[in-house]
Amino acid sequence: MSHRAFSYDGQTGPLVRLSVVNFLLNIVTLSLWRFWGKTQVRSYLWGRTRIWNEPLEYVGRGGELFIGFLIALLVVFAPYMAVVFTGQMLVAGGQPAGVFLIVVAQIVIFFLIGVGLYRARRYLMTRTVWRGLRAGQDGSAMAYALLTLGHVVLLGLTLGWSGPWMSVKLDRYLMNNTRFGDTGFECEARSAPLYKRYAALWFSFIPVMVSFAVLTQFVDLPSPDRSGFLPAMVGIYAWVIVSVLLFSGLPLAAYHAAYWRNLAAHTRFDGIGFGFDMGTWRLVRLFFGNMLITIFSLGILRPLASQRTLRAACEHLTMESAPDINRMVASPQAVPRTGEGLVAALDGIGEF
Amino acid sequence: MGVPGLYRDGKNARDHQIVVRLLGHGLDIIDHDGQVLAHWPKAQISRVDGTDDLRLACSSHPLARLLLPQPSPVSLWLPQRRSARGLWLGLVAGSAAMVALLAWGLPRLSIVVAHMVPLETERSWGQTFVAQMEDRKVVCADASGADALDRLEKRLATALPAEQRPTRVVVVNDPLVNAIALPGGTIIMFKGLLDQAESADEIAGVLAHEMAHVAQRHPLAAAIRSIGVASLATMMTGDFSALVATLGGMALSGHYSRTDESAADSMAVDILRDADISPLGLATFFDRLNQQGGELPEFLSSHPELESRRQRIVGLPLGAPTSSALDKVDFQNLKNICAQPARKLSTR
Ligand SMILES: [Zn+2]
């Protein structure tokens, strides 16, 4: 019997096998399999995650993701593409109204991504089962999306200084609306303790900006039809990444480590507190490992990166004591019937 | 008599001590008072993978679980799993077949799709393409050189229906030995190509080849293909490979398939013949560049077949008696078209 609240015991072999089979099936089915593939990967990862020695169970189905994707495609993505295309035609025809149309479409889609993210989390929560009880996510996706929109606008207006304040606000909203069974989480995290590390991060971006400005001043990019264009673009991207890592990498990791430590320390479940003691270097190692795995496998072995994240999270997350399972009962809340739609349609968001 | 185990009903988190009684068509879950808590039909029972104990679920009680210690007589009672032999072989063969099918089908499909796009749409889209190059390239605009180019283009285009003709042919002041056709029907010839040409027939040959690409809408098809390949690659490899796919798409864009190239070659010969110009100029140009080696221009993009492409052109019947594509004066004027580099590319 483990004394740790969280543990993870997944292995590399089965997950690699699963990833390769999914990749081949994606080819055969022209990528339609990915909804079912994703479900199998989650099922594996959840099943190896133990909370107080009792595994989680993922009860989502590929078909739910597929139908959600179709709905998002029809209701959101197709109209969006149509509007943007119309806007581009108008611009090409010399009508400035097209620009307006495109800008409005971008704002609306950004808002809808916020809605989609919240709904995706709700789907993920309701498909996560522990001891026969589903987790859940209440609250309003619209309210969350509005907060996200406000977050981005404020970031611009305050030159980034609103960052921690709004991030904590968003995560507080998420956590305060998360529950297991009918028992809710409470989160009272504040952003004030984060500002020292955030200031270090903010100022570290100055050399990045300066070096980028110098680069664009002195390097003449060849035109897109010349053979030198691709290497030049790769070079510029590489420089941006390298300079961000060089100057801001450590401050970024230090800030995020502090962010999650702060969030966990002020979150309670049924009155029981949490802790998250992952240090800066551990975070850097986790990030780089995941990046290398994903890039060198062309994204095929991405489940391995998810596994590393989950393992690290379980190693460092602590819970003061076990919850009283005699008090935990299922919630009467309705469960969404389809999954993730918009996020799946736009792809590339979320680690799992 | 029954098998002891734990039962969770999906309504609360507690474990209930129970025994399981196996029947032919299903199983009963019985608590210590002898009460039947639930009956699970055999057909609805499935295993939950990944744990050391045997975990069972029943589709009519979605979150209820039965936990039994291993080894258990219940696992023998359950239907046995089929082994997945042959799965790997089938998968590898299937995906190889799909990749082959795509390699064969995508070029053909992209041509079909390109022909479904209205010409106006393609042209206004092509305008944005040209606009992107606007700042970097300068169009050569020497008056007598432009006249000569215009005459050559008109002569070649006579045999083509109006909607298949290029919208514009321009020379840009760039040492590249190349010519490209853009979506929307703009053909760009680079100054380096004019410098290399030793006769007007050679220039006419290359121009005819690019005009054939435009007439058959290959530039749009190539663009569609690169978008298609990029999005397929993104979806097949997972969430994060957009970068890889974008790079792949960029590398592929502007590259025609072999089918496109030979179609353009044979149509170019037709165009030249209809204009009473010898197709041998194109063949000569192929030959010279083949011997030079080095970086390959667009209109020779499939290198290994260069010699066979040349031979095919030489082997074709030459048709009616031919005359030179341009007279000596026009040819010299065309070669000097960059004496006055003035206009920006996007202005007409
Ligand atoms: Zn060509």
pLDDT recorded at residue A7:
92
- How do the domains of chain B map onto residue ranges? 3-77, 117-344
Helices marked H in B32-72: none
Helices marked H in B199-320: 200-215, 218-237, 242-252, 258-274, 280-292, 306-315
Give yes or no for residue A99 having a pLDDT over 90: no
| Cβ neighbourhood burial of B181 (10 Å; 0-12, 13-18, 19+) | buried
Backbone CA torsion sign across B156, B159, B162, B164: negative
User: What tens digit of pLDDT does each residue of A164-205 get?
Assistant: 999 999 999 999 999 988 889 999 999 989 999 999 989 988
Selected residue with higher pLDDT from B127 and A15: A15
Q: Name the closest residue on chain A to residue B177, using Cα atoms.
A: A226
Nearest CA-CA distance, residue B329 and chain A, Å: 32
Residues, CB within 5 angstroms of ligand 1 (ion):
B 264, 299
Count of pairs with CB atoms under 8 A, one residue in A, one in B: 128
Q: Which of A21, A44, A92 sits opposite B128 (nearest CB)?
A: A92
Q: What's CA A137's distance to the chain center, in Å? A: 16
Q: Name the closest residue on chain B to residue A126, using Cα atoms.
A: B63
Residue B173, classed as helix, strand or coil, is coil
Q: Which A positions 163-222 lie with beta carbon below 8 A of chain B?
A: 181
Nearest CA-CA distance, residue A233 and chain B, Å: 10
Are residues A119 and A141 in contact, defined by beta-carbon separation less than 8 angstroms?
yes
Q: Which of A34, A48, A93 sits opposite B50 (nearest CB)?
A: A48
Distance B123 CA to ligand 1 centre (A): 20
Q: Do B11 and A134 touch (CB under 8 A)?
A: no
Give yes or no for residue B22 having a pLDDT over 60: yes
Q: Do A133 and B239 touch (CB under 8 A)?
A: no
Nearest CA-CA distance, residue B11 and chain A, Å: 5
Give yes or no for residue A2 having a pLDDT over 70: no
Of chain A, the percentage scoring pLDDT greater than 90 comes to: 34
CATH number of the B3-77 domain = 2.30.29.30
Selected residue with higher pLDDT from B84 and A145: A145
Give yes or no for residue A77 having a pLDDT over 50: yes
pLDDT band of residue B317 (cuts 50, 70, 90) is low
Q: Which residues of A touch B254 (CB under 8 A)?
A: 225
Q: Name the closest residue on chain B to residue A344, using Cα atoms.
A: B239
pLDDT band of residue B319 (cuts 50, 70, 90) is low
pLDDT recorded at residue B181:
85
Strand arrangement of the beta sheet that strand A272-276 belongs to: A6-8, A49-51, A54-58, A128-130, A133-137, A178-180, A183-187, A267-269, A272-276, A317-319
What does the pLDDT average to over A129-144? Answer: 89
What does the pLDDT average to over B150-168? Answer: 87
The pLDDT mean for chain A works out to 84
What does the pLDDT average to over A71-98? Answer: 80
User: What tens digit of pLDDT does each residue of B218-264 get?
Assistant: 888 888 887 777 777 766 665 544 555 555 555 544 567 777 888 88
pLDDT recorded at residue B135:
53
Give yes or no for residue B31 having a pLDDT over 80: yes
Are residues A318 and A275 in contact, defined by beta-carbon separation less than 8 angstroms?
yes
Of chain B, the percentage scoring pLDDT greater than 90 comes to: 3
User: What tens digit of pLDDT does each residue of A290-325 get?
Assistant: 989 888 887 788 899 999 999 999 999 999 988 888
Distance B210 CA to ligand 1 centre (A): 6
pLDDT band of residue A350 (cuts 50, 70, 90) is very low
Q: Do B240 and A348 touch (CB under 8 A)?
A: yes
Nearest CA-CA distance, residue A273 and chain B, Å: 20
The dihedrals phi and psi of B227, each to the nearest 5 degrees, come to -65, -45
What does the pLDDT average to over B277-281? Answer: 84
What does the pLDDT average to over B114-122? Answer: 83
pLDDT recorded at residue B240:
45
Q: Which residue carries 């292995």 as its tokens?
A: A11
The pLDDT mean for chain B works out to 78
Integer Cα distance of B42 and B249 in angstroms: 52
pLDDT band of residue A347 (cuts 50, 70, 90) is very low
Integer Cα distance of A88 and B124 in angstroms: 9
pLDDT recorded at residue A48:
92
Nearest CA-CA distance, residue A207 and chain B, Å: 26
Supply the pTM of this predicted model: 0.76
End-to-end Cα spacing for chain B: 94
pLDDT band of residue A259 (cuts 50, 70, 90) is very high
Name residue A306's beta-bridge partners. Answer: none
Q: Which residues of A touch B250 (CB under 8 A)?
A: 230
Q: Do B13 and A132 touch (CB under 8 A)?
A: yes
What does the pLDDT average to over B39-51? Answer: 84
Q: Which of A48, A227, A350 sits opposite B295 (nearest CB)?
A: A227
Most confident of the ranges A15-24, A206-215, A331-340: A15-24
Distance A198 CA to ligand 1 centre (A): 55
Q: Which residues of B touch A85 (CB under 8 A)?
A: none
Most confident of the ranges A213-217, A244-248, A338-342, B77-81: A244-248
Give yes or no for residue A68 having a pLDDT over 80: yes
Helix (H) or strand (E) holding B190: strand B186-190
The ipTM assigned to this model is: 0.74
Centre a 10 Å sphere on the Cβ of residue B82 and count the other Cβ atoms it contains: 6
A270 Cβ partners below 8 Å, 6+ apart? A183, A323, A324, A327, A328
Selected residue with higher pLDDT from B176 and B6: B6
Q: Which residues of A touch B137 (CB under 8 A)?
A: 223
pLDDT recorded at residue B237:
63
Distance A172 CA to ligand 1 centre (A): 59
Are residues A185 and A179 in contact, defined by beta-carbon separation less than 8 angstroms?
yes
* Amino acid making up residue B155: R
Nearest CA-CA distance, residue B211 and chain A, Å: 19
Q: Which of A44, A133, A230 sits opposite B251 (nearest CB)?
A: A230
Helix (H) or strand (E) holding A57: strand A54-58
Q: Which of B13, B232, B236 sits opposite A133 (nearest CB)?
A: B13
* A24 at interface of B, judged by CB pairs closer than 8 A: yes
Nearest CA-CA distance, residue B136 and chain A, Å: 6
C-alpha separations of B84 from A11, A62, A223, B91 in Å? 20, 20, 52, 11
* A52 at interface of B, judged by CB pairs closer than 8 A: no
Strands (E), A63-138: 128-130, 133-137
